[in-house]
């Protein structure tokens, strides 16, 4: 992903960014109402330019302050609930939820618009034409607020639901897989012959690699580049980011292609999404929660994702022909996704049975997932046979999965 696009997407998920933009828009709209002077019909200004607009703005300001405060409290409650029931790694999706951000931003923006409007009217900033325009704009904003309020009420019913969070993580993981699925057809390292190393100057997780930028640098320097630190890898200061077949002068440009942060990111790292799904299943199987149904839901979600990963993209071609990248191993994907269920659910008949069913289904796939799934199914079966207590469940499991 282009590094600027990555940064904008990350910035757009910050709640304060969208809220600030909506608030600025509300303030500018209230101020710009004076531009309508001279183009508003006299009859229209007489009818709607009276003192009633002050009452409407006052009601809007007082109500939006209460609604915004309540909404923030509901969001914090949902954030805490998801952190406790699922995993803290998925809780960040609460504040990054588009509907949540749009609703809260609309409430804050409408509140500031109303405050600025009331202040301007009381200061004599508007004439009759300006007040008429403010009145019409206020009606539009009231309609927008009503729409966002209904959307927010609908979102509240699912915001803290674990099933909804599983769906969100599944969607993000599928997007990341779509970006990395072509890597299996891409030339991989290591480089042949002598190589030059460019190291990281900071410690953290690689969140994004701008391959287009690296391709341009490689073409300019007429070299091949092996990407050693792919998305999701933990690097420390001095660790290798890339190896090159020749010297590169633009060292800062190379390092700028790598976004390194304190945590992993969903964007280019499908393994992180699978790890989060595995953590949700592991939390559900803990004695304090004891919710095998959620673990089963994660296992079925994993079936859909691994089916997508096994497909070869139509018309796949190598775009970055001067880059060598390491493909993701299917065995690692399966362990990230099903590891928690295999370990903590080995002694649960329902979870163990569903895991074997899914793994054996994946084992029939024609691509690279099939062999890895069959190996993982054998290991999971052996673990369950040791963990299941002697009795009917163990006998049924042994008979069903030989």
pLDDT at residue 183, rounded to an integer: 77
Confidence class for position 105, pLDDT limits 50, 70, 90: confident
Confidence class for position 268, pLDDT limits 50, 70, 90: confident
Pairwise pLDDT comparison (324 vs 127), residue with the higher score: 324
pLDDT at residue 237, rounded to an integer: 93
Could you please report the per-residue DSSP string of 133-194? HHHHHHHHHHHHHHHHHHHHHHHHHHHT-HHHHHHHHHHHHHHHHHHHGGGGGS---PPSS-
pLDDT at residue 56, rounded to an integer: 85
pLDDT at residue 360, rounded to an integer: 93
In this structure, the number of other CB atoms found within 10 A of the CB of residue 39 comes to 8
pLDDT at residue 45, rounded to an integer: 62
pLDDT at 50 over 70: no
Q: Which residues contact 267 (CB under 8 A, 6 or more apart)?
A: 1, 6, 9, 175, 176, 179, 207, 208, 231
């Amino acid at each position: 992903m282009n590094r600027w696009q990555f940064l904008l997407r990350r910035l757009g998920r910050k709640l304060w960014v969208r809220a600030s933009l909506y608030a600025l828009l509300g303030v500018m709209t209230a101020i710009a109402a004076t531009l309508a002077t001279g183009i508003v019909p006299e009859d229209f200004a007489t009818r709607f330019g009276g003192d009633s607009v002050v009452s409407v703005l006052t009601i809007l300001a007082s109500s939006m302050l209460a609604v915004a405060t309540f909404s923030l409290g509901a969001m914090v409650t949902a954030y805490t609930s998801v952190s406790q029931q699922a995993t803290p790694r998925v809780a960040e999706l609460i504040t990054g939820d588009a509907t949540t951000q749009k609703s809260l931003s609309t409430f804050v923006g409408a509140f500031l618009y109303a405050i600025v409007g009331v202040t301007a009217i009381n200061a004599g900033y508007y004439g009759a034409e300006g007040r008429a325009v403010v009145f019409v704009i206020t009606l539009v904003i009231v309609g927008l607020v009503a729409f966002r309020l209904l959307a927010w009420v609908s979102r509240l019913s699912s915001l803290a639901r674990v099933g909804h969070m599983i769906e969100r993580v599944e969607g993000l993981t599928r997007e990341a897989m779509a970006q990395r699925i072509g890597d299996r057809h891409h030339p991989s390292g290591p480089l042949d012959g002598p190589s030059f190393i460019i190291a990281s100057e900071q410690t953290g997780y690689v969140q994004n690699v701008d391959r287009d930028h690296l391709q341009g640098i490689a073409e300019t320097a007429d070299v091949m580049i092996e990407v050693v630190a792919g998305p999701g890898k933990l690097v420390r200061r001095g660790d290798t980011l890339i190896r090159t077949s020749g010297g590169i002068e633009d060292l800062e440009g190379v390092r700028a292609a790598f976004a390194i942060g304190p945590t992993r990111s969903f964007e280019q790292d499908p393994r992180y999404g699978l790890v989060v799904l595995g953590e949700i299943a592991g939390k559900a199987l803990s004695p304090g929660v004891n919710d095998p149904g959620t673990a089963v839901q994660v296992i079925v979600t994993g079936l859909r994702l691994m089916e997508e990963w096994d497909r070869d993209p139509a018309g796949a071609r190598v775009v970055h022909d001067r880059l060598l990248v390491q493909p993701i191993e299917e065995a690692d994907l399966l362990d990230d996704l099903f590891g928690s269920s295999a370990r903590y659910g080995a002694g649960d008949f329902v979870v163990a049975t569903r895991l074997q069913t899914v793994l054996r289904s994946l084992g029939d796939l024609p691509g690279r997932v099939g062999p890895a799934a069959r190996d993982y199914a054998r290991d999971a079966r052996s673990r369950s046979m040791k963990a299941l207590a002697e009795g009917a469940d163990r006998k049924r499991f042994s008979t069903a999965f030989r």
